[in-house]
C-alpha cells in the first residue's frame, strides 16, 4: 500500500508542446518500503524523467514474506493530463 505519494512536476516544454499521456514504470520496492530504482516500460520521452523522479520519492508499507520485510518489483503508472 502506498503511504507517501509525490505528484510529478509537469515539464513546461511538454505542456507547451501539448504532450500528455501515461508513463508506465517498473519500480523496485525495498523491504523498508522505499523505491530504490525504476525502469521505464512505456515511454513518453518528454515525461519519463518527471515520472521516474516522482516514483522514486514514493513510499509503501513493507511487503512481508513469511513475516519478514522483502523487496518486490511492481508496475506503476503515472498519468499526465493537460488542464
Candidates 75, 38, 72; CA nearest to 54 is 38
Where are the domains positioned within the chain?
Answer: 2-80
> Looking at the predicted structure, is the pLDDT value of residue 83 above 90?
no
Interval 36-68: pLDDT, tens = 999 999 999 999 999 999 999 999 999 999 999
Q: Do 3 and 60 touch, CB atoms closer than 8 A?
A: yes
Q: pTM for the whole thing?
A: 0.93
* pLDDT of the residue at 78: 98
CATH assignment of 2-80, given 1.10.10.10, 3.60.40.10, 3.30.2420.10, 3.30.930.10? 3.30.2420.10
Amino acid at each position: 500500500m502506498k503511504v507517501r505519494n509525490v505528484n510529478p512536476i509537469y515539464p513546461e516544454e511538454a505542456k507547451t508542446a501539448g504532450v500528455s499521456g501515461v508513463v508506465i514504470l517498473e519500480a523496485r520496492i525495498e523491504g523498508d518500503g522505499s523505491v530504490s530504482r525504476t525502469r521505464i516500460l512505456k515511454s513518453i520521452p518528454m515525461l519519463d524523467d518527471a515520472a521516474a523522479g516522482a516514483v522514486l520519492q514514493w513510499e509503501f508499507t513493507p511487503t512481508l514474506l513469511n513475516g519478514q520485510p522483502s523487496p518486490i518489483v511492481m508496475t506503476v503508472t503515472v498519468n499526465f493530463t493537460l488542464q
